[in-house]
Amino acid sequence: MKPQLVQGTRDFSSAEVLKRQYIFDTLRNIFIRFGYMPLETPAMEALETLTGKYGDEGDQLLFKILNNGLDQSEKKDKARADFEELLNGKNVKGISERALRYDLTVPFARYVVMNRNDIAFPFKRYQIQAVWRGDKPQRGRYREFYQCDIDVIGSDSLLYEAELVQIYDQAFHALNIDVIIRINNRKILEGIAIEAGFPDKFGTITVAIDKLDKIGWDGVAKELESKGISGKSFDIIKKIVASATMSELKNCFSTFNSIAQKGLEELETVFRFLDGYQAFNKIQLDFTLARGLSYYTGCIFEVVADISAPGQEAVKMGSIGGGGRYDNLTGVFGWDGNSGVGISFGADRIYDVLLQLDRFDQVPENTTKLFFMAFDEASLAYAFKIVQKCRAAGINSDIYPEAAKFQKQMKYADRRKFARVVIVGENEMNSGVLTVKNMESGEQKGMTVEEILREFAV
Amino acid sequence: MKPQLVQGTRDFSSAEVLKRQYIFDTLRNIFIRFGYMPLETPAMEALETLTGKYGDEGDQLLFKILNNGLDQSEKKDKARADFEELLNGKNVKGISERALRYDLTVPFARYVVMNRNDIAFPFKRYQIQAVWRGDKPQRGRYREFYQCDIDVIGSDSLLYEAELVQIYDQAFHALNIDVIIRINNRKILEGIAIEAGFPDKFGTITVAIDKLDKIGWDGVAKELESKGISGKSFDIIKKIVASATMSELKNCFSTFNSIAQKGLEELETVFRFLDGYQAFNKIQLDFTLARGLSYYTGCIFEVVADISAPGQEAVKMGSIGGGGRYDNLTGVFGWDGNSGVGISFGADRIYDVLLQLDRFDQVPENTTKLFFMAFDEASLAYAFKIVQKCRAAGINSDIYPEAAKFQKQMKYADRRKFARVVIVGENEMNSGVLTVKNMESGEQKGMTVEEILREFAV
């Protein structure tokens, strides 16, 4: 048989793993600096933990795991009946009781509810793990991919919103991507609908202004008009959304628009906490920002690469991060009233942006510093002892395992992309002076073992 | 609903993740030092990639993934027929085309075959990933657990056997566990059967001597006698197995016992490569060591905790590592003749041993160095700015997000196990001298921000 990958999944070669580890390590260091602690949950969750949490479409995309032992004879009739239930879209439990996790949020909520008596709240956690979705695979969309989430649950303090903005700012700075961090508040969006006189058309209005980037104000006007929103109502919406500052925005809302006032107050508090913070990136209010409407209740965030930054003009990529405040994460598991706020990083997209910008320069192609080659049994044994000395000194080192021909070993060294090769022949063994070749420059020099240890030891 | 974990799976809290990361990081550093490079493969493999690779029992334990879209109406009849095939133990493809990986070896072989033209051989890779098995969960046995494998494929050089012994030695030294590294050679085991005059009873003899530890020589004699092996044959077996050195062993075998001679030669070569190596741990020849009989063809290794080492007397744990030389890893995917050798680390068992020995002392309970508390809005804002300075200086810091009561914040700090708390009240804000409390000793001292930055910056 010809072995193949499962459609929509990827192997990661060493060069790719090193780049991905660099992204995760960079993010992890920032998370830890801000007091977030790691959590890991299992790949498999009870099917009922996941079902109904991601809408009908999400339910369809869950990878369900077949129950074991269905072919045991005494159960066959029951299995047939269970399968019929599954075919009729009813109960699938007889056939499948487990599924692969679809995101990190629901398992996090499950963990919080199960461990509520042991957790000290506010609970700050980060989680970097794979998730699986049965989406149709396409460019940039995979059936197995990593999510990278940080959340704090059990506090409604807006200090955390400020902290998460700083985490985005510092994380992307550490990753060497210039970004724009967009902020809005779901209550402002609701306030707009009220201010415009269409409190029941909040969804319609939000969907329309979310498209402003693509269709412009003419397009938004047309779309809103088709839904019966025009004239003065449209003018109010346009004025609010076009506000560039908090004070402009405040002037747009009536004092009795209490939801808008609450949204304004929240944004002001966040910015008060950010007062004096010297950001590396642009932090922008953006009243067109919507994100998952049904989920968030307060501030919402989104991060995009800043195409006005030097060298980043060609980056074509949607959001590389997003998140916000939610008020009832654990409600689905019977524990209401826990406010939380979280953000996530789009690791695969960040990877693609860094690759496009050629900004993985801190990541070596090969972590091996020295590669030894020997050409007869005696010098192989001698070289292997020097390799051991180098390793004992903390120098990542490797050796060709046989006294093969020079060409063969050199070709191998080339393909492995070793930075430096140490040549050990009879002459070198007798003189104690080894030939160290820089594979990039081609430069060679003679060095004793002591000199090698001194130069390359960490 | 009351949320639950899937049976046999675990959540890892932050304290557990930190300990596990410490084990993996320690191992990874050693692997890199020896020139091994990372590989990651997807959780899901094609079912046909996995089926038949782990015996009938293994096939039963695979977690198969239900194909999506079985409930789409136009396919129902086909689905029923496919399900009938599954019930009859025939073809399951119509119901399930994918399964979760069962080990790291088969996906590695698949990767090597698929990428044979891009890989430079010998190919040295390490892989640390989860695997899933539908075993009955019990103490110490999980349905999701991590494997940690290193292999080199595409060379039959015995230098790699020596290197892997050194890796075991250095890895367990770095983890602060004293171990015994046992070595045998499958060819010696075959040679014993030939020398005893029962070449066709290789399996029987190996199984019997594998039990020597538990049943003693009397038990082994009884077992072998029941299979028709006794008298002079038994004496030969006993003499060989009881050999303490290579030279004793050599005297036991006839020169015409070519498989034994080859095994002896291989062991001698490995020990020649190890000549002069100052091991941290005991490296012992053990001719009772068998391991997976059908798989290995040359040297085999096993690691156990050394219960004669100080403080380790109470460790009751089977093998915490094992591996060996195999000759046809990629043969199942149609590419024959690739010799390879590999070892694995039992991460869960290593975790349990370290926990029992209380040797996680390098791992902090909490990675946060300073935790700030403030008691009114003004000092909260002030403290938050100092937190930002600390974080900018690389000090992992956190802050209680509200001006809550002292007791409440202190209780939180206790539960989070912060090492140091920084108290910021009105007095502290006015004087610029903050109160830094060591939570373990209870000692308090006044420090300015500059002093804090100097003392705690990395």
CA quadruple B282, B309, B352, B215: dihedral, nearest 10: 70
B40 to chain A, closest Cα gap in Å: 5
B98 to chain A, closest Cα gap in Å: 7
Whether B75 contacts A162, CB under 8 Å: no
Residues B238, B239, B243, CA angle at the centre, nearest 5°?
A: 115
The span from the CA of A257 to the CA of A237, in Å, is 14
Residues A122, A158, B386, CA angle at the centre, nearest 5°?
A: 85
| Helical (H) or strand (E) element with B324 | strand B321-326
B64 to chain A, closest Cα gap in Å: 5
Name the residue among A1, A395, A398 with its Cβ closest to that of B333. A1
Residue B402 and residue A333: Cβ atoms within 8 Å? no
> Considering all CA atoms of chain A, what is the largest pairwise distance in Å, rounded to the nearest integer?
93
pLDDT of residue B280: 98
Edge-to-edge order in the sheet of strand B123-132:
B37-38, B123-132, B144-153, B340-345, B321-326, B299-305, B179-185, B282-285
The span from the CA of B155 to the CA of B166, in Å, is 18
pLDDT of residue A91: 84
pLDDT tens digit string along B15-54? 999 999 999 999 999 999 999 999 999 999 999 999 988 8
Residue B416 above 60 pLDDT? yes
What are the domain boundaries of chain B?
14-43+101-356, 370-456
Q: Which residues does chain B have within 8 Å of residue A11's beta carbon, measured at their own beta carbons?
A: 39-42, 111, 114-115
Residue A64 and residue B65: Cβ atoms within 8 Å? yes
Q: Which residues does chain B have within 8 Å of residue A155's beta carbon, measured at their own beta carbons?
A: 401-402
Say whether residue A17 is in contact with chain B using an 8 A CB cutoff.
yes
The span from the CA of B92 to the CA of B329, in Å, is 26
> Hey, which residues 30-59 in chain A have their CB within 8 Å of chain B?
32-35, 37-46, 48-49
Whether B382 contacts B374, CB under 8 Å: yes
B3 CA to centre of own chain: 30
B98-109 average pLDDT score:
96
Secondary-structure class of domain B14-43+101-356 per CATH: alpha beta
B454 to chain A, closest Cα gap in Å: 17
Residues B375, B379, B381, CA angle at the centre, nearest 5°?
A: 120
Say whether residue A394 is in contact with chain B using an 8 A CB cutoff.
yes
Taking domain A370-456, whether its CATH number is 2.70.150.10 is answered by no
Name the residue among A4, A86, A96 with its Cβ closest to that of B46. A4
**What tokens does B143 get?**
């349905």
Q: Which residues does chain A have within 8 Å of residue B170's beta carbon, measured at their own beta carbons?
A: 391
CA quadruple B227, B229, B235, B238: dihedral, nearest 10: -30
Q: What is the mean pLDDT of chain B?
A: 94
First and final C-alpha spacing in chain B: 47
pLDDT band at B292 (very low <50, low <70, confident <90, very high): low
Name the residue among A63, A71, A397 with its Cβ closest to that of B87. A71
**What tokens does B277 get?**
């190596």
pLDDT tens digit string along B138-152? 888 899 999 999 999
Name the residue among A79, A98, A367 with its Cβ closest to that of B32. A367
Name the residue among A68, A134, A416 with its Cβ closest to that of B60. A68
pLDDT tens digit string along B48-94? 999 988 888 899 999 999 999 887 767 888 999 999 999 988 888 99
User: What are φ and ψ of residue B90, in 5° steps?
Assistant: -95, -120
Nearest-by-CA chain B residue for A403: B157
A7 to chain B, closest Cα gap in Å: 9
What is the model's pTM?
0.95
Whether A251 contacts A283, CB under 8 Å: no
pLDDT of residue B317: 86
The span from the CA of A146 to the CA of A10, in Å, is 12
Residue B149, number of CB atoms within 10 A of its CB: 20
> Hey, which residues 231-290 in chain B have their CB within 8 Å of chain A?
272-273, 275-277
Mutate to test the interface with B, among A33, A48, A74, A422 (most CBs of B within 10 A): A33
B231-245 average pLDDT score:
92
pLDDT band at B222 (very low <50, low <70, confident <90, very high): very high
A288: nearest Cα among A318, A244, A344 = A244
**What tokens does A237 get?**
């919406």
pLDDT tens digit string along B294-324? 679 999 999 999 999 999 999 988 899 999 9
pLDDT of residue A89: 84
Residue B231 above 80 pLDDT? yes
> Hey, which residues 96-115 in chain B have their CB within 8 Å of chain A?
96, 98, 100, 110-111, 113-115
DSSP helix/strand/coil, A417? coil
Residue A11 and residue B41: Cβ atoms within 8 Å? yes
Whether A45 contacts B6, CB under 8 Å: yes
Q: What is the CA radius of gyration of chain A?
A: 29
Q: Which residues does chain A have within 8 Å of residue B415's beta carbon, measured at their own beta carbons?
A: 120
Is the ipTM beyond the 0.90 threshold? yes
Q: What is the DSSP string of B144-195?
A: EEEEEEEEEES---THHHHHHHHHHHHHHHHTT--EEEEEEEHHHHHHHHHH
A230 CA to centre of own chain: 40
> Hey, which residues 160-189 in chain A have their CB within 8 Å of chain B?
160, 162, 166, 170
Q: Which residues does chain A have within 8 Å of residue B44's beta carbon, measured at their own beta carbons?
A: 6, 9, 63, 132, 143-144
Q: Which residues does chain A have within 8 Å of residue B3's beta carbon, measured at their own beta carbons?
A: 46, 49, 110, 113-114, 333
Q: Which residues does chain B have within 8 Å of residue A67's beta carbon, measured at their own beta carbons?
A: none
B223: nearest Cα among B201, B208, B203 = B208
pLDDT of residue A294: 67
pLDDT band at B291 (very low <50, low <70, confident <90, very high): confident
A222 to chain B, closest Cα gap in Å: 38
B396 to chain A, closest Cα gap in Å: 4
Contacts with A165 (C-beta within 8 Å, 6 or more apart), sequence order: A181, A183, A270, A274, A283, A301
Residues β-bridged to residue A151: A125, A342
The span from the CA of B213 to the CA of B304, in Å, is 13
B201: nearest Cα among B175, B225, B179, B183 = B225
**What tokens does B391 get?**
């974080």
B446 to chain A, closest Cα gap in Å: 23
The span from the CA of A296 to the CA of A292, in Å, is 7
Say whether residue B378 is in contact with chain A using an 8 A CB cutoff.
no
> Hey, which residues 192-221 in chain A have their CB within 8 Å of chain B?
none
The span from the CA of A302 to the CA of A184, in Å, is 9
Kindly give the parts of chain A with pLDDT less than 70: 73, 292-294
